[in-house]
Structure 1
Amino acid sequence: MRRRLPWMLACLLAGGALPVIPATSGFEQPEHSSIPFQTVLELEQAARLLAVLLDSGRAVINDNQIVLEESQGKGLTPEAFERQLMDMFRGRAGIDLHELDGAALAPRTKRLLRALVETSRQVIADLRQELHPQATQFRGFIPAAFGARVSARFTDHTGVRLKQTSLAPRNPANRPDAYERGALEAFADSAYPRETVISEMAAKSASFRLMFPLYATRHCLDCHGEPKGVVDRMGYPREGLVLGQNAGAISVLLPVKP
């Protein structure tokens, strides 16, 4: 038997605030879990904030597509990216990453957020370095490519797994596992509450799992929209998505012990 905990209660007890996300999400925890309740709240807050921060980085890349394309990928500096990332995250999560020392967050959460910012910035710096100066064709650095690079590095450096996934991923490495598939099927239902996460304490693996839904933007539709089946500029058949439709999720697996 499982019990459900509204995210609003989690936010209040943990002292955090996530105004952009509705307070209707559920948390599932095994009834006989020996993990302290406060630890569970801190894990959910950390997982949710990491997902919001990664998606904020994806949004910055999304907003700069024209700049990236016109400059052959070099028009977005690491400094400009980081500034936009912090502004985006502050607007969505209500947390100023410049003032993390004074934020009402667990020390581990602060450490992970700083690590994700640095990893994201380094991915942009490396992109600029690896582009050949004589290149005449730039296929684009899309949000999914950014997210994949950042997630892989962040997982290697911290042991916290971030992953972009969907029911029909283009990258085989992003195939959903059983837990992710169940959440994705729920997100795909048009009746599912928008921007509501699904989370669970996995006692057997001593980890916390969270699925953060993603939605198709106008830039997403350039490659993933109509007409379905027609090859896009990246060489893949379009999925036929429409604006605002669920387009997958960010999966977070956070070990209980650092």
Structure 2
Amino acid sequence: MRPFLLATLLVSTAAQATAPWQDEAAAQIPPFAEHLLGTVRQAVTDGGPIAAVQACQALAPQIASEHSHQAWQLGRTSLKVRNPDNTPDAWERSVLERFAEAAIAGTPVKELRYGEEVDGEYRYMQAIAVGEPCMACHGTAIKAEVQEAIDQYYPHDQARSYQIGELRGAFTLTRPLAQETQ
């Protein structure tokens, strides 16, 4: 019984050690997400879904860079990427696959998040659910002219045919742990 108790305490201690990083990581996402969504909404208002495709292609990487700073690197990834620069690495793919399994099993996508220490970094991912604003460019009924624009800007696009509420991808954050002592 003692080994079980020791293992439980070690797991609890490890979870407590990463909890501050998880909270800090989670706090980085709302401003980033709001900036991205605000940019897309403004583009739709100014020029429709085609303008949103153009804005995503031109501005999304810049927005991610603006929200990344010395401590945190932010980005987005998916099992079905639109931009090949957002292709998941092995760790991200593993987490996304677990998110997909959990979503299929009934866990609400908005509740899916995971963080851990990996190779001297704290890595965190939080799932992104497909919402109504996403459907014009990621849904099942994409207008022909929008499909043409997507094909022009993203010739290797895989990010179509989603339903509202499905797992679109995830925000992905990385923080070097060496900064913890600074």
TM above 0.5, yes or no, is: yes
**4+ residue runs over 4 A deviation:** none
CA distance in 2, matches of 1:140, 1:169: 16
Q: 1:232 to 1:245 in 2, by over 3 A?
A: farther
Residue in 1 that maps onto 2:114: 198
Q: How many residues matched?
A: 158
Contact 1:221–1:243 (CA under 8 A) maintained in structure 2: yes
Q: CA deviation at 1:216?
A: 1.4
Superimposed CA distance per residue, residues 155-174 of structure 1 (whole angstroms, 9 cap, x where no aligned partner) = 4x525221210012122211
Structure 2 unaligned segments of length 5 or more: list them: 1-6
Secondary structure, counterpart of 1:141 in structure 2:
helix
- Aligned in 2, Cα 1:216/1:139: closer, same or farther, shift over 3 Å? closer
Alignment of 1:225 with 2:132, yes or no, is no
Normalised by the length of structure 2, the TM-score is: 0.70
1:148 aligns with 2:53: no
1:254 is aligned to 2:175:
yes
Deviation at 1:54, TM superposition (A): 1.1
Identity %: 22
The answer to whether the Cα contact below 8 Å between 1:147 and 1:164 also exists between their aligned partners in 2 is no
Q: Displacement of 1:139 after TM fit?
A: 5.6
The secondary structure found in structure 2 opposite 1:240 is: coil
Displacement of 1:176: 0.6
Rounded to whole Å, the distance in 2 between the matches of 1:179 and 1:46 is 20
Aligned mates of 2:30, 2:174 — CA distance in 1? 14
With structure 1 as the length reference, what TM-score do the two structures score? 0.52
Does residue 162 of structure 2 align to residue 241 of structure 1?
A: yes
Contact 2:32 2:67 in 1 (8 A): no
Could you report, residue by residue, the CA deviation over 1:223-247 in whole angstroms, capped at 9, with x for unpaired residues? 111148x735322566101112111
Cα distance in 1 for partners of 2:96, 2:83 equals 16
Equivalent of residue 3 in structure 1, options 11, 20, 24: 11
Of the two structures, which has the highest relative contact order with CA contacts closer than 8 Å and spacing of 6 or more?
2
Three-state SS of the structure 1 residue aligned to 2:160 is coil
Superposition pairs of residues 1-258 of structure 1, within 5 angstroms:
3=11, 29=14, 37=17, 40-69=18-47, 140-142=54-56, 146-155=59-68, 157-158=69-70, 160-189=72-101, 190-191=104-105, 192-195=107-110, 196-202=112-118, 205-227=119-141, 231-235=147-151, 236=154, 239-258=160-179
2:26 match: secondary structure: helix
Distance 1:252 1:139, change over 3 A: closer
Deviation at 1:252, TM superposition (A): 0.3
Q: Which runs of 5+ in 1 are unaligned?
A: 6-28, 31-35, 74-137
**Structure 1 residue 178: deviation in Å?**
1.3
In structure 2, the CA distance between the partners of 1:145 and 1:224, relative to structure 1 (3 Å rule), is farther
Match of 1:64, SS?
helix
Q: Distance in 2 between matches of 1:249 and 1:57?
A: 16
Separation in structure 1 between the aligned mates of residue 25 and residue 53 of structure 2, nearest angstrom: 32
Asked whether the 8 Å contact 2:125–2:170 carries over to 1, the reply is yes
Separation in 2, partners of 1:47, 1:66: 29
Higher normalized helix content (fraction of residues):
2
Structure-2 change in CA distance of 1:211 and 1:243 (3 Å):
same
Does structure 2 conserve the Cα–Cα contact (< 8 Å) formed by 1:223 and 1:233? no
